[in-house]
Each structure stands twice: as structure tokens, then as C-alpha cells.
Amino acid sequence: MDTTGANEHRGGLRQVFEAIKPQLNLSAEQEQKIKEIFKNFREERTEIQSSGSSDIKEDMRNARHGVKEQVLALLNDEQKKMFREQLHALRN
């Protein structure tokens, strides 16, 4: 199974977040909650990969989408704008 693309995309969300984290000016509470979201995602990713599901790509896509939505829910409007712009730039 070729997971190269999935690995790149999976890391992409975290990489974007880490790259712009200084500009986001996160509160300590936001930062802690986001760390927990990424920790939970790592655990979920491991479960998906070991599940043997025939829909691993779809399951991973759904999990990544969930992480993005959880992170966005913690950000204020300006932080969301920056985060979305960086995600858009990554995809192009």
C-alpha cells in the first residue's frame, strides 16, 4: 500500500500549524488543547492504520478533517484566517 501521499498530507496540517504558531499568538489554553488534539489524532491514525479497513484513505481523510475542524474551533477569527490561508497555500 502506498501511503506516501497520506504521510505528506497528514504531516501538512501539523507542519502548517507549527510554522504559523508564533504568528497566531495562542493563549496557553489554546496551545494545550491543540497539543491534545494532535496527540489524539496520532492515536486515531495508528488505530486506522492497524484496523485493516478497506477504506483507510477515506478514514484518514475524515480524521484529518476532524482535526482541522477541532483546531479551527479553538481559534479566534483572525487566527482562523491565518491558519486557513496557510493551509490553502500548502495545497497550491
Question: Looking at residue 81, what is its pLDDT?
Answer: 93
Q: Residue 53: which region, alpha, beta or left (left: phi > 0; alpha: psi -120 to 50)?
A: beta
Mean pLDDT of all residues belonging to the chain: 84
Cell of 17: 500549524
Q: How far apart are CA 84 and CA 36, in angstroms?
A: 20
pLDDT exceeds cutoff 70 at 2: no
Q: Is pTM, for the whole model, over 0.75?
A: yes
Residue 15's pLDDT is what? 83
**Could you report how far apart the first and last alpha carbons of the chain are, in Å?**
25
50-78 tens-digit pLDDT: 988 889 999 999 999 999 999 999 999 99
pLDDT band at 1 (very low <50, low <70, confident <90, very high): very low
